[in-house]
Each structure stands twice: as structure tokens, then as C-alpha cells.
Amino acid sequence: MRSGDGDNGENGGTVRERFTAAARAGRPDLALLCLLIGAEADPALGGERGENDEHLGRRIDRHIDEAQIELDRLAGLLPYGADRDPRGWARALAVLLGEKHGFHGTPDDYRRLDSSLLDKVLRRRRGLPILLSVVWLEVARRAGAPVYGVALPGHFVVGFGDPDGDHVLADPFSGGLLLDETDVELLVAGSSGATLSEAMLRPAGPLEITLRVLNNIRAWAAARPEHTDVQLWAVELSLLLPHHPARLRYERARLLVERGDFTGGARELESYAEAVAAMEPNAAEAVRRQARAARARLN
């Protein structure tokens, strides 16, 4: 039922060690990556640890297994339909997840960190569009559906069928509402002000989805100064992905300084300045000044 080639990071190690392994697997397991984000958010499971804690490992295993079992259970409830067309698959998922199990979202869900954590979304049956879409993707994939994620600006949805041929889009945030082209255009315009393009409709891969989940967590925490700890671990997990925006290194350095690690933050600022100096000399010098200011706060 589950994806991944060989050791995908689910067995042994800290959350971050497992996350790194899962992100670099031949076929990254989206559910596993999202569940490890949830484990990192749990103070009893996440963070960097210098020792191999066997009990911690078992707790992480239990955190992952419980959610994977629930995804398997939901997939098992989907009536068999090997001959379904894309619309039939979308409708079957809407009936199972949207109607029978109540998976949907509301504006209030944007104010909760839980809405970005897969294990919590599976329990609450509420969440952000992208996490509800992850539930749909994982349940549908387990049932053999031709399903893929679509990372529209400001609102994630799922597609069924062939992205280049016969397909249909559905909105898990609305309980599985089927979307025609006009619906999608209005959704994109309303959530981001952008104009729909073909590039926006391309399937999103597991690592792209994972980074977007972490971006949402970073944005949630950035709006709440009391949660710089959440912003920091979201940045640090993002940096473990094989591909990530280079500027995340600067964000991590700034957060370290903000949280009182002036030496570590200054060192990271200097490293970032060195990395961008050739392309952006003025920006690099500005970052070096920030590093000197951080070191001066030690006096």
C-alpha cells in the first residue's frame, strides 16, 4: 500500500534523520514526510537529539503507524471500481471523505497550526486545502486511483485522470466539489489575484508538496512572534530537502539571532553572505553588517 524504495526513513533515527532519509528516497513517501513534520511539531518527539533513544524511536514509530493505518482503513472503505473514469473516482472520494467522514475546511482552520499537521487533520477531519488534499491523495493512491496534486496559487486541489488528457479537478477543502475551468479561474483569482495558466495545472511532486506544507507552517509562525520556535524547525526541515530556496539559510540565521543565539546566528549570516557575494555583492555586505551587529550584542 505504501510508496517508497527500500529504507525510506521510517525505521530508526530521530525525526530529522528519518525526514532526511525519506526526502532522499528514490520515491519519496508524501504521507511519511507529512507525518514526520507532525512528529517534529510534537515537543515529545521532535528536535535534534544527540543520543539514540530507543523509547523515542518507538514513540515516533507509533505516531507514524497510527496515521498510516488510518489512511489504509479509509482506502479500504472505498467501494471497488476498477472501471471508474476520472469523474467517477472524484465522486467516490467525495462521497467517502467529504460526505461520510466529513473531511473539509473552514476559514477558522487557517488560524490553527493543527491544520498543517497530517496526524491532526486525520483526527479532526479539518485542515488547510493542502493537507486535506494529502489525505485525498493518499487514500486515492492506496485504492489505485489515477490521482495527483495540483498546487494552484493560494489553494491546493487534486486531479484525477491524465493531466494531459481526460481529467477532473476536485477541491477537498469544499468536501470534494468538482471544479470546471471557470471554477478554477475564479478560485485562483480569489485566493491569489493571479490569472490561471497551464503551468499552474501541472502535477505537484511529493517534495514540492512537502515544501509547501512547511512554507505554510513558516507563514503561520511568522505572524505569531511567540512561535519563533515553530518557524525555526519549519525552516530547518525545509533545509533538509534536496532542493530548497537558498534564502532559507538567511531566514534561519535571522531566527537564531532573534532567539538569542548571537554567535550561531552571526556565523550563519557570514556563511550566507559568502554564498551570495559573487551574485549579489551589495546584499552580501548588508548581511555581513547584520552579522557584526549580532556579534556586538555579545558584549
Q: What is the pLDDT of residues 142-175, one digit of tens each?
A: 999 999 999 999 999 999 999 999 999 999 999 9
Query: Hey, which residues does 170 pair with through a beta bridge?
Result: 158, 178
* pLDDT at residue 298, as a whole number: 83
157: enclosing H helix or E strand: strand 155-161
Burial of 61 (0-12, 13-18, 19+ CB in 10 A): middle
Contact (Cβ atoms closer than 8 angstroms) between residue 199 and residue 20: no
Residues of the chain falling short of pLDDT 50: 1, 3-7, 50-51
The pLDDT tens digits for 107-121 are 999 999 999 999 999
* pLDDT at residue 46, as a whole number: 77
* pLDDT at residue 54, as a whole number: 77
Question: 248 in helix, strand or coil?
Answer: helix
Contact (Cβ atoms closer than 8 angstroms) between residue 66 and residue 119: yes
* pLDDT at residue 49, as a whole number: 55
Burial of 164 (0-12, 13-18, 19+ CB in 10 A): exposed
How many of the other CB atoms lie within 10 Å of CB of 275?
Answer: 15
> How many residues are present in the chain?
299
Angle subtended at Cα 285 by Cα 280 and Cα 287, rounded to the nearest 5 degrees: 95
CA 259 to chain centre: 24
The pLDDT tens digits for 69-96 are 999 999 999 988 878 999 999 999 999 9
pTM for the full model? 0.92
Q: How far apart are CA 46 and CA 232, in angstroms?
A: 12
